[in-house]
Each structure stands twice: as C-alpha cells, then as structure tokens.
C-alpha cells in the first residue's frame, strides 16, 4: 500500500488486463444488454428514470444480478436507465460534483493525503466524476468528505449508457469495467476515522450556495427528523450554518430547533449555539439532511415535490398588489397578441383536433419546416422565419427527425435551406419520461410549476415562436376528471404562452362519434368542453373520402393520396377563416382551392323555395300538409335533399315572413286545416292566399 492510499501493483495489473471481448459493448446494444453485462461482473442493477429515481416498484432492496429477473424488468421498461447498488455489489464510489465545489475540495484533500486514484471511473451527466473502488469488508464510510465530494456506499450510482435529465453517463477511456478494468481497493483516505474528520474540514460558514428549491427541500426533510438528539441536532446546525443565505438558514434552523421536546433545548440555547459555537468542522453537509430524513420517512420527498409545484404560484401571490387602471395602460393596451402567422397562429393557446391516423403530427411538422424558412403557408406569409419546438411524449425524436428529413426531400431544399430549418426547429423527446405540465395537488388539478419551470429554462435560449405539445393528453393528469384535467392543461399552456409570448399548441384527439361524423366545430375533441372553451384558436382536421373530396374541390384523388380538410372554427383574434383543403401524397402536401360555395343566405333561400313548393303543391291537390306530416315525412317530401332540421328551419322562416299560414284546427265550411301557402302578385306586390 503506497502513501497515496492504493496498491501500486494492483494498479499496474488493472492497466494491463486485456479487454474482455465478450463484455465489449457493440453499436446497437440495448439497455437490457448493458444491464446483463453489469450482472456478469457481479454487480446488482436497478432500473431508474431520467430523474435518477428508481422506476416505480423498485429500489435498493430489489437490486438484482439475476439474468431472468433483469430480462423481465427491462422487457417491461426497455428505456429504463441502469443504476448499480454499491454496497450489494461490493463497491464504494467517490462522487465529485464540480457544481458544488467538488474539484476544489478534492484538490485540498489530495494535497494533504495524496492522489486518490481509481482504475474505474466515469463522467456523470453534469460533468462530474464517479471514481469506483472495491469496498473493504466491514469498513464504514462517511456520507461526504466535504463540499461537492460525497461517498456513495449504501446508495447507488447511474452507469453508462444511462441518460439523466441533463446528459449521459459514460465510462472514461481505459477505465471501463465492461472492457476489462477492475476495481482496486478503496483508499484509507475515504474510510471513516474518528481521528480524521474529513467532512467539511475546509468549508467555512456561509460559503455554500444552493438553489431556493434546496432550502424548501431542507425544510420538508427537517419536518421528519427529531430535534431531540443533541449530537445530530448540533451537526445539522453546523451544516445549515455553512449555507450562503444566512437569513434563510437561520430561520429554518430556529423553526426546527423549536420542535424539540427536551425541556433543556430552549431557543436561548439555540441562539447561543448559532451565534458562536458552529464554526468548527462538522461531519454533515446539507445533503446529509436528506439522507437522515429518508431513514425517518421517505414520504417527505413527495411532500417537498408538491410544495415545489405550488411554489411559483405562492411566490406570485405573495408579491401581488392591487393597482388601479392608468391612462398609460389605456394607450398601450393591445387588442390582439403577437402574430406568428396572420389569420392562423397567434401568441396564445391553440388546439389541433383530429382522429388517430389523420396525420396531424406530420402536418404540423411540415408546417413548422415551411415556416422555419419564412415561406408562405396555406396562403399566409409570416413576417420572419418561425422558431418551432415540438415536445413529444408519443413519437420518438428519431421518428420525427426521419419524417422531417423526408419532408425536406420532397420540398427539394438546398443545403442552406436545411441548415436554416435545423436552426429554427427543435424536438424535445420526453417519450420515455413521465412528464406532465399539470398535477393534482390537494385534490385540485393545477399547473405543474416545477415541470413548467424546467421546460421554461430548457427553452430559454431557443425562444420559440410556436410550441407544440404532442399529444396533449399525455401532458395532463388523465381523463378521470375530464373538465378539471383539461382546465389544468389550459392553465399550464397559458403559463408557457406568457413565458415566451408564443403560440402554444396542443395536438388533441377527436371523440369517436365526432370522428365518425366528421364534425368540424370547436367541440370535436374528445373529453369535455374546457379545452375548446379555453383555447383561443381551434383547428379541426378530417380526412375526406374520394367522393367528398370531389364534391368539395372538383378534383379526383389519386389512389395513393389523401384529402384532408382543416377547419378553423374558433379564431379569437381575426375574422372567421375558410377551411383549408390539402392533398397529402407521402410526405408531400399541396393546398387545393375548393369549389366556390354558396353563401349561407343563398342556401337558406334555396331551401325555403323547396319547402314552399312542396306546401303549395299539396294545397293545390286539396291535400294540405300538416306541420306533423311535414316533420315526419320530410325525407320523402324533400327527396332526401334536406334534413329535418333544415326543413323545419325553412318552415319557420316562411311563417315568419307570412309566406305560409298554419291552421291548426278545422273551422267552418270551406276552411281547410294545415299549412296554407301565400305568394306575392308581381303586379301590385299585394299578398293573397291561393284560392281554394
């Protein structure tokens, strides 16, 4: 054993050990393949999500190296990342987090005790490092060696090729256990020694900066930790004293200390300790508080998550002030939000409704590519190229990218055009993540503020003009409480809209009946009415049969083409828009101008003339129609050309205008019951009934 804390011969052997051909990963290996290779090393694996938490139902106790169990787990969760249970696998890991000063702490430690070398090491998602060692049987390890320098033994670490929320985990070259590298013994430097209190030896009070969310998590964690144990209480106060927000740390420490049931633990004792006795080195960091809380009640994390969801709302209300209207406001107030695409896309909430298989996502992708070039779309021209972000929880990034490639081929884009599209179009693939923009908090559906904050931060530099959520239902809390769920989504979309001043669109499925009847109104989506009422723009897409297409456009559909009508029944910031007719052939989209349609007034006049003619003919045959017979026999009387509703609407207008009289009872001689037609003599314009 050298002075650096490792066996130099073991290091030499580990560096010359030939690579294991059987364990060398190949291109195309699945996460299951990797999990089985780690099990072959004798390591115990756990399936994890991108937020580093175990997949629901799994944890340290269920870590396994059984190939059959592993195959079963990853067959159910093929996209799950891989974590290694350290203690079960006989490992201990030095976790270096540069964001919290880990590099500086390590440099200080190595300057005093020598280089801490490891034969197995990886780069973490945050740019940190995991140095992996063989754990010494019976040895104890501290939770931390200082700021940003933790020791993982009873927990787990993520390993290649797992992906976290901000990046990948990858073994360092020459230090990959899947290519033959072997762990060496853990150095004495990271063993727990009573005479060597490494933890926080170089960290001074008020020197550790953490996020506001971390303070909230600390508050929740301390709620499950008793303040009665003096030693633990004292060490936690030391950890809190090292946080940079001294006012917040003091308030948290004081409130927690007041929960002690020991009569000797008075607030006076706390004040005295906080003022003068907490500056010496201590064994805990603020992260240690979370570990202690886990041992008491792991449910604290769920409560912390719920508080984080509500925090932006709580903060906003705390700073809210009532203000009167001003003349300046009256001058500057705008009736309409920012225009993304005239007469189609505005900086507000929009839904796109269609049945599955209609191609709504692909159409949206085509539209995004055209607008990324600043080109005309459906007869509308943007003022500048449009930046679009598609957040998907259904189709993977690869599938959407492949579709985009085929669309760009059909558009015959130049190399510079493609470069412009790639700079103005991004895809955020959350298909393997349980990501929602609304959540149930206290039995109320609300925007998921923590996730919205994450998405806002992710897109802050891109600054989208158009943000598409696909499919919208996957971003909500489910459809058990339909209108509540929809309202929660609408509110969350409004938060995103306000953040980026952009159009936020949700791709939504139509209801079964609406899809069969091919409705084009704003309530064509499945579920309730909150979505349709809350959205400021609604687009409804329906596929048309060949005859329907011919009737609408006067053109025949080719066998390998699809005709689509896109109606915009709700447009809050412009006049009503005519439906758009599009032919899709593969990944090519062509707009078709429909046949001129008669105005609503002309249609009503034609319908009224048809109904009047039928009433007149029956009257002249001395077989006047009754209201009931007209209502019941409308199909035969109108030759199936008018619906019952259209027939009765026309009758109502004819009666209103005095062109038809209705006699409901029989009177004296010569009077007939039923519907009596009246017409106008063109010579003197006077009305008179047809003689009986």
Domain ranges for the chain, please list them. Answer: 8-190, 212-318, 339-592, 600-689
- The CA distance from 56 to 35, in Å, is 18
- Confidence at residue 632, expressed as pLDDT on a 0 to 100 scale: 87
Query: Across residues 650-669, what is the average pLDDT?
Result: 79
Q: Domain 339-592 is classified in which CATH homologous superfamily?
A: P-loop containing nucleotide triphosphate hydrolases (3.40.50.300)
Kindly give the residue spans of alpha helices, DSSP state H, lying in 383-470: 397-410, 415-424, 449-459
Region 102-127: mean pLDDT is 83
Confidence class for position 330, pLDDT limits 50, 70, 90: confident
Cβ contacts of residue 34 below 8 Å, gap of 6+?
A: 25, 82, 159, 160, 161, 178
* Exposed / middle / buried, residue 234 (Cβ in 10 Å: 0-12, 13-18, 19+): middle
Task: For residue 444, say if its preceding peptide bond is cis, omega within 30 degrees of 0.
Answer: no
- Averaged pLDDT, 184-193: 75
Instruction: Please indicate, yes or no, whether the overall pTM of this predicted structure exceeds 0.75.
Output: no
Taking Cα atoms as reference points, which of 480, 537, 527, 465 lies closest to residue 506?
Answer: 537
167-181 per-position pLDDT tens digit: 899 999 889 999 888
Residue in 54, 134, 125 with CA at minimum distance from that of residue 86: 134
Gap between the Cα atoms of 369 and 410, Å rounded = 12
Angstrom distance (rounded) from CA 524 to CA 510? 6
Question: Residue 481: pLDDT above 60?
Answer: yes
pLDDT digit string (tens) for 585-643? 999 999 999 987 666 677 788 889 989 999 998 888 888 898 888 888 888 888 777 88
Q: Which residue has the higher pLDDT, 311 or 649?
A: 649
Q: Distance between alpha carbon 427 and the CA centroid of its chain, in Å? A: 12
Please tell me the predicted confidence (pLDDT) of residue 480: 65
pLDDT of 203: 65
The pairing of strands 388-392 and 466-470 is parallel
d(CA 130, CA 97): 9
For residues 100 and 241, the model is more confident at 241
Q: What is the pLDDT of residues 343-379, one digit of tens each?
A: 999 999 999 999 888 899 999 999 999 999 999 999 9
Q: Are strands 503-509 and 466-470 parallel, antiparallel or unpaired?
A: parallel
Of 89, 99, 97, 29, nearest to 64 (Cα)? 89
The token pair that represents 447 in the structure block: 């925007």
Farthest CA pair distance, the chain: 128
Q: Which of 82-96, 254-268, 657-671 has the lowest mean pLDDT?
A: 657-671
Most confidently predicted of 110-114, 160-164, 446-450: 160-164
Stronger pLDDT, 220 or 511, i.e. the higher one: 220
pLDDT above 90 coverage of the chain, percent? 42
DSSP β-ladder status, 674-680 and 660-663: antiparallel
Q: Show Cβ contacts of residue 270 under 8 Å, excluding neighbours closer than 6 positions.
A: 237, 253, 254, 257, 258
| Residue 196 or 204, more confident | 204
Give the whole-angstrom CA distance, residue 217 versus residue 289. 10
* Alpha helices by DSSP H, 541-687: 546-553, 600-620, 627-632, 634-637, 644-656
Q: Can you tell me whether residue 541 is helix, strand or coil? A: strand
Max mean pLDDT among 225-234, 382-391, 432-441, 448-457 falls in 382-391
Closest CA to 564 of 594, 534, 595: 594
Non-local CB neighbours of 646 within 8 Å, separated by 6+ positions: 607
The span from the CA of 74 to the CA of 67, in Å, is 11
At 387 the pLDDT is 97
Q: Output the CA torsion sign for 458, 464, 468, 472.
A: positive
Phi, psi of 340 (to 5 degrees): -90, -45
Pick the more confident residue, 202 or 404: 404
More confidently predicted of 597 and 530: 530
| Whether 475 contacts 489, CB under 8 Å | yes
Task: Please tell me the predicted confidence (pLDDT) of residue 10.
Answer: 37
Q: How far apart are CA 550 and CA 557, in angstroms?
A: 8
Q: What is the mean pLDDT of residues 114-130?
A: 89
Q: What's the CA gap between 449 and 213, in Å, rounded?
A: 12
Q: Is the pLDDT of residue 416 over 90?
A: yes
Q: Which pLDDT does position 663 carry in this prediction?
A: 83
Helix, strand, coil percentages, rounded to 5, for the chain: 40, 20, 40
Answer yes or no: is pLDDT of 100 > 70.
yes
Q: Mean pLDDT of all residues in the chain?
A: 84
* pLDDT tens per residue, range 667-692: 444 455 689 998 665 444 445 455 54
Q: What is the pLDDT of residue 412?
A: 95
pLDDT-above-70 percentage for the chain: 89
The more confident residue out of 70 and 511 is 70
Whether 396 shows a pLDDT value over 50: the answer reads yes
Q: Are 432 and 79 in contact (CB under 8 A)?
A: yes
pLDDT at 681: 53
C-alpha to C-alpha distance for 487 and 369, rounded to whole angstroms: 30
For residues 359 and 371, give the distance between their C-alpha atoms in angstroms, rounded to a whole number.
18
Q: Could you tell me which residues are beta bridge partners of residue 339? A: 346
* Spatial contact of 678 and 660, defined as CB atoms under 8 Å apart: yes
Half-sphere exposure of 110 (CA within 13 A, CB side): 12
CA 250 to chain centre: 37
Report how far residue 133's alpha carbon sits from residue 4's, in angstroms, rounded to the nearest whole number: 14
Q: Sheet with 129-134: list strands edge to edge.
A: 144-146, 149-152, 91-96, 129-134, 120-123, 170-171
Question: What's the rounded Cα separation, in Å, for the pair 207 and 216?
Answer: 19
φ, ψ of residue 222 to 5 degrees: the values are -70, -20
More confident residue, 289 or 406: 406
Determine which helix (DSSP H) or strand (DSSP E) holds 564, and give its type and residue range: strand 562-571
Looking up tokens 């998550």, which residue turns up?
A: 305
**What CA–CA distance (Å, rounded) separates 284 from 68?**
40
pLDDT reported for residue 400: 95
């Amino acid at each position: 054993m050298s002075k650096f804390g490792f066996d130099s011969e073991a290091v030499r052997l580990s560096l010359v050990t030939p690579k294991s051909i059987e364990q060398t990963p190949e291109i195309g290996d699945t996460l299951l393949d990797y999990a089985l290779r780690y099990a072959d090393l004798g390591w115990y694996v756990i399936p994890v999500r991108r937020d580093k938490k175990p997949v629901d139902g799994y944890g340290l106790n269920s870590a396994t190296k059984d190939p059959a169990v592993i195959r079963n787990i990853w067959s159910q969760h093929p996209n799950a990342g891989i974590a290694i249970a350290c203690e079960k696998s006989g490992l201990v890991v030095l976790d270096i987090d540069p964001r919290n000063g880990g590099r500086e702490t390590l440099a200080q430690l190595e300057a005093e005790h020598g280089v801490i070398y490891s034969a197995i090491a990886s780069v973490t998602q945050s740019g940190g490092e995991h140095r992996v060692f063989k754990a010494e049987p019976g040895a104890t390890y501290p939770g931390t060696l200082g700021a940003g320098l933790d020791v993982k033994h009873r927990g787990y670490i993520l390993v290649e090729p797992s992906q976290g929320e901000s990046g990948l985990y990858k073994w360092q070259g020459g230090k990959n256990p899947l290519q033959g590298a072997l762990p060496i013994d853990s150095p004495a430097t990271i063993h727990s020694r009573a005479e060597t209190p490494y933890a926080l030896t170089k960290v001074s009070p008020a020197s550790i900066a953490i996020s506001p969310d971390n303070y909230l998590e600390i508050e929740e964690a301390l709620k499950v930790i008793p303040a009665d144990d003096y030693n633990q209480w004292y060490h936690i106060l030391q950890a809190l004293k090292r946080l940079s927000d001294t006012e917040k740390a003091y308030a948290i420490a004081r409130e927690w200390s007041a929960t002690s049931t020991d009569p000797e633990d008075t607030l006076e004792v706390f004040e005295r300790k906080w003022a003068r006795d907490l500056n010496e080195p201590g064994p805990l960091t603020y992260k240690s508080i979370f570990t202690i809380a886990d041992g008491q009640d792991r449910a604290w994390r769920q409560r912390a998550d719920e508080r984080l969801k509500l925090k932006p709302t709580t903060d906003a209300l705390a700073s809210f002030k009532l203000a009167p209207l001003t003349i300046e406001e009256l001058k500057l107030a705008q009736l309409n939000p920012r225009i993304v695409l005239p007469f189609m896309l505005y900086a507000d909430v929009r839904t796109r409704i269609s049945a599955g298989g209609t191609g709504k996502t692909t159409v949206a992708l085509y539209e995004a590519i055209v607008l990324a070039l600043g080109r005309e779309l459906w007869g509308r021209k943007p003022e500048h190229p449009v930046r679009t972000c598609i957040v998907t929880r259904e189709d993977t990034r690869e599938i959407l990218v492949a579709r985009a490639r085929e669309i760009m081929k059909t558009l015959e884009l130049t190399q510079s055009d493609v470069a412009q599209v790639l700079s103005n179009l991004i895809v955020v693939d959350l298909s393997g993540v349980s990501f929602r923009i609304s959540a149930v908090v206290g039995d109320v559906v609300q925007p998921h503020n923590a996730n919205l904050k994450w998405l806002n931060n992710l897109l802050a530099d891109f600054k989208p003009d158009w943000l598409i959520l696909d499919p919208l239902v996957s971003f909500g809390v489910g459809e058990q409480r339909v209108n509540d769920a929809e309202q929660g989504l609408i509110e969350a979309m409004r938060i995103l809209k306000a953040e980026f001043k952009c159009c936020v669109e949700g791709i939504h499925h139509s209801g079964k009946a609406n899809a069969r009847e091919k409705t084009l109104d704003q309530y064509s989506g499945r579920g309730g009415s909150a979505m349709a009422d809350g959205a400021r723009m609604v687009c409804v897409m329906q596929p048309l049969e060949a005859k329907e297409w011919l009737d609408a456009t006067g053109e025949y559909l080719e066998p390998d083409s699809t005709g689509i009508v896109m109606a915009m029944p709700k447009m809050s910031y412009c006049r009503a828009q005519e439906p758009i007719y599009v032919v899709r052939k593969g990944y090519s989209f062509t707009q078709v101008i429909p046949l001129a349609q008669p105005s609503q007034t002309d249609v009503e006049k034609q319908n009224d003339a048809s109904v009047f003619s039928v009433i007149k003919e029956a009257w002249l045959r001395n077989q006047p129609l009754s209201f009931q017979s007209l209502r019941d026999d409308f199909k035969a009387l109108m030759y199936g050309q008018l619906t019952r509703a259209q027939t009765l609407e026309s009758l109502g207008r004819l009666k209103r205008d005095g062109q038809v009289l209705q006699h409901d009872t029989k009177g004296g001689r010569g009077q007939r019951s039923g519907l009596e037609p009246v017409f106008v003599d063109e010579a003197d314009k006077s009305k008179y009934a047809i003689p009986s």
